[in-house]
Structure formats: structure tokens, C-alpha cells
Amino acid sequence: MYNEQSRALDQQDSSFSPGITLHSLTELRLSGCLVLDPCTLSALQIFHKERHASQMGLGQPKEGFSLFTLLQRCVTQM
């Protein structure tokens, strides 16, 4: 079973959060999904992160040149 809310619960400190109410669980079938290991994902250059050159983005990666960046620029607004 996969649940985004339960993952969020694991990452939060309960002393700082009022809590999350879990309403349902949804089964996620992976039969139609392709799973890539980090080495393959890096070699395909689908996503590429670079360090920010500016002070304001210090510590946060920015999206560099990648297949995703190229295709994202071709998206038509709906």
C-alpha cells in the first residue's frame, strides 16, 4: 500500500504538528511503471540539477539542461 499522507507523517515531528487525519488508503500497482536506478537516471540526463550561482538560491539546486527542461519549454499553456 502506498499513501502520500503516511509518508508525510513519518517525516514530521509530532510536537510541531497538530496531526494529519488519514481518510483512505489507495493501492498503487507498479506493473505499468518503469523504475530506474540512480546511475541509469543520471546517464539518461532526463533530470539534471546544478548548484545556484546566486546568493539567494544558495543551497538549493536549480534545474540544469536536461530532456525534461527542453520539453518543459515546449509545453503549451491550457
d(CA 69, CA 78): 19
pLDDT over threshold 70, residue 12: no
pLDDT over threshold 80, residue 35: yes
Contact by Cβ (8 Å): 64, 49: yes
pLDDT over threshold 80, residue 39: yes
- Counting residues of the chain whose pLDDT is more than 70, the rounded percentage is 50
Grid coordinates representing 6 are 503516511
Short-list 40, 47, 78, 41, CA closest to 61:
47
pTM: 0.34
- Give the residue extent of every domain in the chain: 4-73
Higher pLDDT, 38 or 70: 38
Average pLDDT over residues 34-60: 72
CB atoms within 10 A of CB 57: 11
